[in-house]
Amino acid sequence: MKSTYLAVWIGVIVVALAVFYFYSADQAKIRGFNFGNNLDAIQSELKQVQTDFYSKKRLLDENTITKEEFLEFSEDHVKRMGELVSKYENLVSPDSFTKAVELFKTSTQKQLESDRFLIEWIRTNDTADRVHSDMLLQESFENEMAALSSYEKAKNPSG
């Protein structure tokens, strides 16, 4: 009789462990899926914010809007970019993606700084601001490429 109870308990424990294992694996997949969707949403919003900004810059270059209109728009742009940086900070990422997220965040921060210098160049016409903007834009691009590489490595660790 004792051996029957022991066998039943062992069976229950094995089934419980198997259920826990598969449940944990499913939860990890869900967390990974949510992380990927959230990161994609941030990246898509960033692309849209930057497209809007450079569209306004093009309108300024074409004299379709005034410098004052551009500068007014740029205040909102800087605020939106700052909000995007904080979204990276609030993103819950799997450990293997931490480096990629940090690089995406750094890229966005440098993009924001580049935009600030570009705005200041438009405001003051100081060429040093334009040069600084271009340098930061290049650094932002390099960080973005490193982030994409890191993300792919984390996504496909064997390949």
Q: 93-140: per-residue pLDDT in tens?
A: 888 899 999 999 999 999 999 999 999 999 999 999 999 999 999 999
Task: Indicate the domain borders of the chain.
Answer: 36-155
DSSP state of 95: G
Tokens 């405001």 map to which residue?
123
Give one word for 94, left, alpha or beta, with left for phi > 0 and alpha for psi -120 to 50: beta
Q: What's the pLDDT at 26?
A: 66
Share of the chain above pLDDT 70, in %: 93
Q: Answer whether 140's CB lies under 8 Å from 110's CB.
A: yes
Nearest alpha carbon to residue 115 among 134, 102, 101, 128 = 134
Q: 25-41: per-residue pLDDT in tens?
A: 666 677 777 888 999 99
CA 18 to CA 157: how far, in whole Å?
A: 26
